[in-house]
Amino acid sequence: MEKGFYITTAIAYINSPPHIGFAYEVIGADIMARFQKMRGKNVFFLTGSDEHSFNVYKKAQEAGLTPHEYCDKMVERYKRTWELLGINYDRFIRTSSEEHKKVVYKLMDKLLQTNFVYRGKYSGWYCISCEGFYREKELKNGLCPIHSKKPEWVEEENYFFALSRFEDFLKKHIKDHPEFIQPEERKNEVLGILNSGLQDISISRRGKNWGIPFPGKAEEIVYVWVDALINYISAPDWERVS
Ligand SMILES: [Zn+2]
């Protein structure tokens, strides 16, 4: 049987309304999806919204809404914009949907049963706008390289995923399967990251107000970047993975 063609945009970070950058990406994906359909492929075209960020929580509070109410309103704006542009996606995934949450919870629960997850202490420069940590050498004059804002020094105990243990496996896989990442320049970009060394990543955050609860740790949620990333699996295939 011929394999289907799966195309996805990055899911939108909905703490601000849709802008031309999102439109550019979604139109590009739409063109590719239509082209592959014309070639007779079974196409699945995904887009959606990344909702469990602290910035969304903050925006909702400023607007006097619950995060859910805020997201509902923003999602409508996004969907309306894509409709006006004639975007013909197959699914709009929301990371606050029950289906997605179920898959993320289950995956975290499975991970916990492996020896790839451990408790550790994270300390680093945290940029609230990025919702991410930076190493000292990654800052520009002590400021976030993207937002030019001063990050906070944060220390927290949370769960870590042993990403560093996959470094050799990933290098070998890319070498043995040259078609795995295309075009060549992107492959080289990924190899460059792998060659500079992978670090373990923290996958949970303290706080339970807005996010997906971490299995067995009521006071922690799944780190938003991990939660969001899983949409690319949960959306096309949630019945099989949930
Ligand atoms: Zn930043």
Here the tokens at position 8 are: 């996805």
Q: Look at residue 137 in the predicted model and tell me its pLDDT.
A: 87
Q: Which of 64, 96, 128 is the last residue of a domain?
A: 96
> CB within 5 A of ion ligand 1: which residues?
127, 129-130, 144, 146-147
Which amino acid appears at position 9 of this protein? Answer: T
Does 39 share its domain with 70? yes
Confirm whether 192 is domain-assigned. Answer: no
Q: How far apart are CA 137 and CA 41, in angstroms?
A: 46
Does 51 share its domain with 25? yes
Angle at 106 between CA 204 and CA 169, to 5 degrees: 75
Does 45 share its domain with 138? no
Q: What is the CATH number of the domain that holds 27?
A: 3.40.50.620
CA 154–ligand 1 middle distance (angstroms): 14
Structural domain range at position 32 = 5-96
Does 88 share its domain with 121? no
pLDDT tens for each residue of 139-191? 999 999 999 999 999 888 999 999 999 999 999 999 999 999 999 999 999 99
CA 130–ligand 1 middle distance (angstroms): 4
Confirm whether 54 is domain-assigned. Answer: yes
Q: How far apart are CA 149 and CA 228, in angstroms?
A: 24
* Rounded mean pLDDT, 59-76: 96
Confirm whether 242 is domain-assigned. Answer: no
pTM: 0.86
Report the domain count for the chain: 2
Whether the pLDDT of residue 116 is over 70: the answer is: yes
Confirm whether 181 is domain-assigned. Answer: no
pLDDT tens for each residue of 16-27? 999 999 999 999
CA 37–ligand 1 middle distance (angstroms): 39
Does 60 share its domain with 117? no
Q: Look at residue 47 in the predicted model and tell me its pLDDT.
A: 97
Place of tokens 């996805």: 8
Does 140 share its domain with 214? yes
CA 53–ligand 1 middle distance (angstroms): 13
Q: What residues contact residue 31 under an 8 Å CB cut-off, 6+ apart?
A: none
Confirm whether 105 is domain-assigned. Answer: no
Confirm whether 19 is domain-assigned. Answer: yes
